[in-house]
Structure 1
């Protein structure tokens, strides 16, 4: 009886040890992580000599055998480089596992210090999409991916592109506290990672505006736009009116200045053009022959070459005195000398006198 109990206990211990060993092997970390569909090179930790024999074993199966540089056996899609590293192409799930190299010298003895390599194969991480659900004052974000691609994926969250150190599939926040914040979710595995587009908490929380959204069934923004258009038109009209008024005022000031300048010139220089007045007086005399005056003070004696009265004054006196028809005489009566108005005025030449008729000598 004791012997049976001892044998049973021994069998139980062996089973527990085997289970522990298998579990430990399954949880061993990967030495290398590779993506499906890509190529990968498993490095050889030993130095390969031309005289050596090299074998590669995948888990418990030999996949490559080379002796002194000559390939004896290899798997179809695999190859070995010059330094003995194993080349794997178009990776898939059957490539994952433990790769062990075996190196022999010329005598066929195994060279020590060989090292096994665990290779893990992962699919590329898909791009996730964030969805949100509003509940009272909170908002819940969920990082979603396709179910068939979610294997071996882990999740992380970023708020305003800063890592939150939260590695869950969902994230809950107060909507008002994250009113202006953006959120992204990240999925990753040991070989790759992808990040979603940014989302915000709207419409879970929206700050109330002072103005109503609609007024009489019409959006408030329509009223704002119409008012802005009217104000713009009024501003343009005011600018046009100001420009026109300024231009009109400038023209009036210019005309007023010209009139003031003309009046000032006439007051300061009344006899500025003596030759012009003399020319007009001569034309007046040509059209109207001089008439004798009955006032002795205005007559000049014949042959008088002294200063004459100013033409403008003489012309004015001619208009003031009544005209008297000339006496029937062939000789012009002598005229008295005229008074001089201004010393600085130009003295005109003496008037021409009519020729005296000489006495006729009787013919013999």
Structure 2
């Protein structure tokens, strides 16, 4: 007996000769259904079984479940649910593969036709990343680096807002992000994790020795009465520093 089956995008040729089974498989990972290691996945049968039906489940080239009417010959009763769908528990990466059903009548004849198969691809969950800020450049930039595994997507967040940058390293002017919180999100097709937030450690504002030509110790020696004045002057100084920095940046980026 010679049978030809077409499981979704994969073609399977089945030749039965002297009770032997030979299969030819072709296909790609483009039609993968992804699941995480340790999870549970059910491959639907998409057919209403009759009590007289025989049911097989085939993984790639191997029969993993065979029930002749109510008698289980290969596998266990709880490998399928009440509908005949295949239950896969505690997934490991070696359970990746193409799973296809075969239903025949009590005479062993396939009167159902080709039933849809599923190409299952099992992936490990991503690990929680960390962000480091060890690199500080001479021109006042800080580099944030996200730890990431292979084939994982990276997105960056500043104070909880998503940024456009996608690479492993994010660069910012340290003065511009004094107290901003940066974190990275890594993900694959089955899971995602976000790092704890960190702040830049490259730039720390220095307090001036004088404010508007007056020694800072004059304000300190004046006692509590001048603290309010000192705070206001410090705020003005900080604003001036920021305005000067932005003017310098605009000058550098202004076209000639």
| Separation of aligned partners in 2, 1:87 and 1:211 | 73
What stretches of structure 1 move > 4 A for 4+ residues in a row?
none
Which residues of 2 match residues 36-55 of structure 1 at below 5 A? 36-55=37-56
| Separation of aligned partners in 2, 1:109 and 1:172 | 66
Q: Which residue number in structure 2 is paired with residue 7 of structure 1?
A: none
Q: Provide the secondary structure at the position in 1 that maps to 2:176.
A: coil
Candidates 185, 198, 205, aligned match of 2:203: 205
| Separation of aligned partners in 1, 2:31 and 2:166 | 20
Q: Which of the pair is proportionally richer in helix?
A: 1
Does residue 71 (structure 1) correspond to residue 72 (structure 2)? The answer is: yes
Q: Which residue number in structure 2 is paired with residue 84 of structure 1?
A: 84
Which residues of 2 match residues 285-304 of structure 1 at below 5 A? none
| Separation of aligned partners in 2, 1:105 and 1:172 | 66
The higher-RCO structure (CA 8 Å, 6+ apart) is 2
Candidates 139, 142, 147, aligned match of 2:145: 142
CA RMSD of aligned residues (A): 2.9
Q: What's the CA shift for 1:55?
A: 0.4
Q: Which residue number in structure 1 is paired with residue 167 of structure 2?
A: 168
| Separation of aligned partners in 1, 2:101 and 2:151 | 29
| Separation of aligned partners in 2, 1:113 and 1:167 | 43
Does residue 30 (structure 1) correspond to residue 29 (structure 2)? The answer is: no
Which residues of 2 match residues 159-308 of structure 1 at below 5 A? 159-201=158-200, 203-210=201-208, 227=223
| Separation of aligned partners in 1, 2:163 and 2:129 | 17
Uncovered stretches (5+) of structure 2, i.e. residues with no partner: 1-25, 211-215, 228-256
* TM-score (normalizing by structure 1): 0.48
Q: Provide the secondary structure at the position in 2 that maps to 1:94.
A: helix
| Separation of aligned partners in 1, 2:69 and 2:179 | 69
Q: What's the CA shift for 1:113?
A: 4.0
Q: What's the CA shift for 1:109?
A: 2.5
Any conservation in 2 of the 1:63–1:75 contact (CA below 8 Å)? no
Q: Provide the secondary structure at the position in 1 that maps to 2:31.
A: coil
Q: What's the CA shift for 1:154?
A: 2.1
CA change 1:75–1:164 in 2 (3 A) is: farther
Deviations for 1:215-255, whole angstroms, at most 9, x for unmatched residues? xxxxx9xx96xx55xx9xxxxxxxxxxxxxxxxxxxxxxxx
Deviations for 1:308-335, whole angstroms, at most 9, x for unmatched residues? xxxxxxxxxxxxxxxxxxxxxxxxxxxx
Q: What's the CA shift for 1:39?
A: 2.5
* TM-score (normalizing by structure 2): 0.66
CA change 1:144–1:45 in 2 (3 A) is: same
Does residue 153 (structure 1) correspond to residue 119 (structure 2)? The answer is: no
CA change 1:172–1:75 in 2 (3 A) is: farther
| Separation of aligned partners in 1, 2:124 and 2:29 | 19
| Separation of aligned partners in 2, 1:165 and 1:62 | 48
Deviations for 1:265-292, whole angstroms, at most 9, x for unmatched residues? xxxxxxxxxxxxxxxxxxxxxxxxxxxx
Which residues of 2 match residues 276-355 of structure 1 at below 5 A? none
| Separation of aligned partners in 1, 2:38 and 2:155 | 26
Q: Provide the secondary structure at the position in 2 that maps to 1:177.
A: helix
Q: Which of the pair is proportionally richer in strand?
A: 2
Q: Provide the secondary structure at the position in 2 that maps to 1:157.
A: strand
| Separation of aligned partners in 2, 1:105 and 1:160 | 62
> Which protein shows a greater Rg?
1
